[in-house]
Structure 1
Amino acid sequence: MDCTDDINFVSTFGLRCKGYMGWNCENLIFVGFTPKEQDYLIESCPYSCGLCGKVTRKLPEPTSYPTAVPTGIPTFNCVDDISFRNRFNQGCDAYNGIVCEGLSLLGGFSKDDVRYLLKKCPKTCNICIDR
């Protein structure tokens, strides 16, 4: 794999490669990326994703029918935690209609804050995978 970022790359969320430095790009499917979007990011931004010299794996394409054997991707109920309150004392409903993944680009939200919000408010943040 060539270890340079594509300077023309822009993700679905409007971020260039540098916006993904420090993220585990191989797990972005769990925060709303489709498998194709994740693969495209990994191929386009190996340097920013910290994948130089590493062998990456592509996720298999989803099947259109149930599998006989469980898959490695965990499933979860797409329900917000009604008891959730962040450090600003806001619940999930405060983020309705907002691209939660981009909040770390604004002041006041760390990447850990965003990850926790996505975990507690998957429905509001629109990261649920339709089955």
Structure 2
Amino acid sequence: MPDADDGPVSESEQAELVQALRRHLADGRLDIEQFDVRVARVYGARTRAQARRALDDLPLLGVPSTRRRFRRRHGESAQVQPHWVATEELFRDPATGRVMRVWIDPTDGTRHYAQAEP
């Protein structure tokens, strides 16, 4: 199976990454020059992996505490988002017996679970 990180980066993925960079700028982790360089890196990237490198040395952003999250069993996601990064972590859901893969959202560090491909 080809690595999803090798796929082309979409405009919506670029927008999400730039939004994360804006939060880092607002929180004082980047100055405006660093922000500009990283935004250029996102928009100049050909693949998802290249675009995500703009966030490499920045801490993961927390999920706002005012946001209430509703989950399926074990945090199961309905659909894997293209910008999520697959981990090697697999587990068997004890309720359904399905093998699940763990995915990380690089923009905020949240973990998501989706059925692993057979």
Normalising by the residue count of structure 1, what TM-score does the alignment of the two structures yield? 0.24
Which one has the bigger strand percentage? 2
Q: Which has the higher helix share?
A: 2
